[in-house]
């Protein structure tokens, strides 16, 4: 199938499919005319790529792990023993990023709360209610 058909069947733009090829995640055959020719299995490969991207993996990591993944119809399953280590390292990276984001949110919550308490008190502050000098 050509790139337009793969895009239609997967819901992924042709631009994204070209990017996946550039990142060596897809390897279509080339016709003599230069057109890309995708195999039926590439539909599943694109869906697997999207799943791994949604899991927070980079395209570099996906290129590394994709050959060792199998799709049992319901989920991706690591087929190579060393894959668990790679995926665990990425999970740890995500956990650290989540922890950092939660800490940042806590700081913002404190700043917002302080701002709310300041805006709730101005009427009782005599300096703010005094008549301007004139």
CA nearest to 12, candidates 48, 39, 40, 37: 48
Q: Which fold has domain 1-80?
A: Multidrug-efflux Transporter Regulator; Chain: A; Domain 2 (1.10.1660)
Going from N- to C-terminal start, the domains of the chain cover 1-80, 81-121
pLDDT in tens, 64-107: 999 999 887 778 888 888 898 889 999 999 999 999 999 999 99
Task: Please name the helix (run of DSSP H) or strand (run of DSSP E) that holds residue 30, with its range, or none.
Answer: strand 29-30
In angstroms, the CA 10 to CA 13 distance is: 9
Q: What is the pLDDT of residue 102?
A: 97
10-30 pLDDT, tens digit each: 999 999 999 999 999 999 999
pLDDT (0 to 100) of residue 118 = 74
Return left, alpha or beta for 77; rule: phi > 0 is left, psi -120 to 50 is alpha, else beta. Answer: beta
CA distances from 40 to 27, 47, 121 (A): 12, 12, 66
């Amino acid at each position: 199938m050509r790139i337009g058909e793969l895009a239609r069947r997967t819901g992924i733009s042709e631009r994204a499919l070209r990017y996946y090829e550039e990142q060596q995640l897809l390897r279509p055959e080339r016709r003599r005319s230069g057109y890309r020719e995708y195999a039926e299995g590439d539909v599943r490969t694109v869906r697997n790529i999207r799943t791994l991207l949604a899991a927070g993996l980079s395209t570099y990591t996906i290129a590394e792990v994709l050959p060792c993944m199998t799709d049992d119809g319901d989920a991706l399953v690591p087929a190579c023993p060393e894959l668990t280590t790679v995926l665990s390292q990425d999970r740890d990276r995500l956990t650290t990023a989540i922890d950092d984001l939660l800490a940042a949110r806590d700081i913002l919550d404190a700043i917002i709360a302080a701002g709310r308490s300041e805006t709730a008190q101005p009427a009782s502050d005599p300096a703010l209610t005094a008549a301007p000098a004139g």
